[in-house]
Structures are given as structure tokens and as C-alpha cells.
Structure 1
Amino acid sequence: MGKGDDDLNDYASPACLLHEVDPAYSGLTPPSRNVGQNLPEPSLMEWRRSERARMIAARLAMSARTRNALARRIAGHLDALIGDPAGVLVSGYWPFRGEPDLRDWFRDLRERRGLAALPVVVERGKPLLFRLWRKGERLERGVWNIPVPAAGEPVFPRIVIAPLVGFDAQGYRLGYGGGFFDRTLAALPSSTIAVGVGYEMAEMPTIHPHGFDIPMRHIVTENGIRSHGGKRDRERPFDAGPISP
């Protein structure tokens, strides 16, 4: 397409969050038993579909000005969580259907010598891969018309930031139902830090997690940071050293 990252202004969902896709599409077979409260699988799928619709409608009902103000507060909490980003590789996303728009924060992160990446769909049933997202480098429309880096070798983010539709007190994230994100987290190094971002109003008593759902290490909303790791993670979630696959 011959365009840099500043030219792709259309909103698109990150590749791991495909709206209303059955988990089986991504190669994840739902288990017969759910963690927490035990709901029959058809009832659970319908409940999640209904909750997604409700949460998305609520955030879209906010004005763009309000969403932008909340996104700036979320960005400030991410700064507090990460600290000096120099040399730290962080995977981001493109905002979709009222998600917090953190693109300015990611550009600022790069200016502070942080490294940014975007997820890329490989194929059905496979984990996502990540490519560096550098200023001025060309993006292209990937699978499902999602902006992705046009070229580059796979990289392994130390921090993966994922927008959420809902979340609960255990750190489980309600996404769009595709299952790509959980499969990706399961394939990444154990040192990877998963951070869910969303609005405070997205909190739920429980998402009724599947056995394959992976909780976030941290949930960040406009009201602050909720950590679900050990004491060391709450003080600083990672060190800035290099990681390997």
C-alpha cells in the first residue's frame, strides 16, 4: 500500500479479538466443565454473547471526548506500571468499537526508546505472531482487513497489551470469543506479561472462564492497576533484559 503507520487511521480490531467467533474456529475445543460456576456450554456461549453486546453498547454510548479522556488516564497508569520503557518490547493493538485508543501512547513509547509490536494472524488454529511496529515503516491490510506490519521477522514481546470487553476480579478477560489470544499466550515464553486494558465499567462478577482461558497478570482501567501476580510483579512487572522464544 505504500503507507506508513500514520496513514492508516481506520479503526480495526486486533487480530486476536475477532468479534463473535466460536472458540472452535481458532482450534480451541471448549471443555465440558467451566472454571468457577458450572454453566452448560450452550448457555455459557449465549451468556457471553449477550454480555459482549451489552458491554460494547455501553462503551459506544460514551462520547468520543469521554473515551479519549479515559484513554489518557489508562495511558498514565500504563506508564506507572511499566516505568522506563527503554529496550522493552510491548505489543499493542488498533482500537475497535469504542476500545481505549492508545495509539498516541505507543508512539510516545517509541520516542522514549521503547519497542512496539503488532499481532499478525498466521492461520486458523495457530497462535498469533508479532512484528515490530516502527515509525515510518509500511503497514498493510492483513487478514480481516487489519493493519499489520508489512514485513519483518517474528519478535517476542515482553508485555502483551490486550483490550478487553469485560473482566473479573480473578483477572480473567472477556474478549470477542475467537480464542486467538489465549492460544497465543499459551505459546509465548512464561516471562511474557499479559496486561488487559479497558474501562472500569467493564468489571463483572465473573466471566465464567473456560479451562483454556488465561488470566491477565494486570488489568488497567482509568481507575488504576489491578495486579494478579506475586509481590515482585506488583512492584515491577518485568526487567528490561532481552527475552528469547
Structure 2
Amino acid sequence: MPAPHEIKPVQHHSPIKELKKKLRLEALGRRDALTTEFRIEASMRIADFGLAALAVETGAVVSGFWPIRSEVDLRPLLFGLHERGARLCLPVIMDKQTILFRELVPGAPMIDTGFGTAGPPEDAAVLDPSLMLVPLAAFDVRGHRIGYGAGYYDRAIAHLQVKGLNPNLIGLAFDCQQVETVPDEPHDVPLEAILTESGLRRFG
């Protein structure tokens, strides 16, 4: 079963949604075709580049994600940021519309949060991230992303903005997930940067 950030709702058909679906499936197919050895080595390179490029203040709240399937393994980067004083949090699905970010304390128990993924338990603090390391299916050179189709991150970002918060958004992916152009939709929030095994690329 998919993780929370992979859940796909029933969608009305539109040319943009159909194109996004096609690009999503193609990019995820390329990611799935990577060898386990390549993904491990690339994830370590991503951690090295991220720790070299990302400056986090002590106490800054960083959201990440626990890897499933063929995703980038973000754990080396997350724990490296934690050693520098960052507070970590992971998304937990609450309902069909909402994710919250619960604090990840290294060494604390993780619980089954449904759909094949794990996260902090219910008594963990709920945090508002100032830096979001965002999962994605595909991205383009402008910093536009295609998620997994459920819109959880779009809604979470909008919710933070309503509270007056503007988190920095950095996408995490392998180079093979790049596509020529992601079709824009009004609710799309572009990424500030993308971090892959080639390094950190900033946009705009």
C-alpha cells in the first residue's frame, strides 16, 4: 500500500492532470529501475551535498520523510542536521485532507502510521517546519514539482502560510526524476531548490 504522501484521491479528468499522471508514472518508473546499490550511494551523496549547502540554526524545525519503495533515503541527511541542532519532524496523515508534522526524536519509538510507513507516536510534539524537505515524483528546471497526486503537501504549505509562516521548500529526488516541463496549476507552489545526487540547485 502507498505511504501517506503517495495516496492518490479520485480525480476529475483534465488534460493537465492526465499529463501530470503520465509524467509521474514515467519518472517513478525510472526511479524504480535504479539499483539498490545506486540508491544507497546516491542517498549518501545527497546527504553530503545537503550538509554542505544547508545552513540550519539551532532549534530550526526541519521536516523530512521516512523512505519507502525506491525513494531517496533521507535519514543520513536528517540525522546530520539533527547533530547540528535542528529539530526534526515527519508527516503523519490525519485524514483524507490533512497531514501534521510530529517531532522525530532519534532513538524514540516509531509507530505504524498506516499505508506502509512509520512515524512518531501520538504523544510526540506537533511542529511547524521552517525548512521542508519535500518528497516528489518529478521536477523540472524551474522548480515545479509533481507530487504523488494527493495534494497533502500543497495543503500543508497553504495551512502554514495562513498562519504567517513561509517554509523554505527543497525537493528531494534522484536526477532521473527530472522532466522537461511540469504543467502549472494555480495551487502549485514552486520549490526553492532541488537536492539530488548531483548537488543542490536553487531556482529563481
Q: When the two structures are superposed, what TM-score results if normalisation uses the length of structure 1? A: 0.74
Identify the residue that residue 21 of structure 1 maps to in structure 2: 9
1:208 aligns with 2:183: yes
Letter of the 1:82 partner, please give it.
Answer: L
CA distance in 1, matches of 2:49, 2:135: 15
Matched, 1:195 2:170: yes
The partner residue of 1:81 within 53, 64, 82 is 53
How far does residue 145 in structure 1 lie from its aligned partner after superposition? 4.0
State yes or no: 1:147 paired with 2:96: no
Q: Quote the Cα distance in structure 2 between the aligned partners of 1:122 and 1:131.
A: 11
What corresponds to 2:29 in structure 1?
Answer: 57
CA shift in 2, pair 1:84/1:155, >3 Å:
closer
Partner of 1:115: 87
1:1-245 mapped onto 2 (5 Å cutoff): 13=3, 15=4, 17-22=5-10, 41-84=13-56, 86-126=58-98, 128-150=99-121, 151-188=123-160, 189-229=164-204
How many residue pairs align between the two structures?
200
1:35 corresponds to: none
The alpha carbon displacement at 1:42 in A equals: 2.6
C-alpha contact 2:130 2:165 (8 A) present in aligned 1: no
Q: CA deviation at 1:58?
A: 1.1
Counterpart AA for 2:156: T
In the alignment, the residues of structure 2 paired with residue 84 and residue 154 of structure 1 have an alpha-carbon distance, to the nearest angstrom, of 19
Q: Distance in 1 between matches of 2:184 and 2:67?
A: 24
State the percentage of identical aligned residues: 28
Take 2:52 and 2:9, find their aligned partners in 1: how far apart are those partners?
A: 34
Deviation at 1:84, TM superposition (A): 4.9
**Which one has the largest radius of gyration?**
1
Distance in 2, Cα, partners of 1:185 & 1:191: 8
Aligned with 2:34: secondary structure? Answer: coil
Distance in 1 of aligned mates of 2:126 and 2:74: 22
* Paired amino acid for 1:176: Y
Q: Which moved more, 1:175-184 or 1:54-63?
A: 54-63
Task: Give 1:166 shift.
Answer: 0.7
Q: Deviations over 1:35-85 (max 9, x none)?
A: xxxxxx533322222222211121111111111111112112211232355
Contact 1:23 1:179 in 2 (8 A): no
Question: Aligned partners of 1:85, 1:23: CA distance in 2, in Å?
Answer: 40
- Aligned residues of 1:21 and 1:176 also touching (Cα < 8 A): no
Gaps of 5+ in 2: none
Q: Is the 8 A contact 1:20 1:177 kept in 2?
A: yes
Q: What is the RMSD of the two structures over their aligned residues, measured on CA atoms?
A: 2.1
The 1:56–1:82 alpha-carbon spacing in structure 2 relative to 1, beyond 3 Å, is same
The CA distance in 2 between the partners of 1:223 and 1:48, in whole Å, is 24
Letter in 2 for 1:202: Q
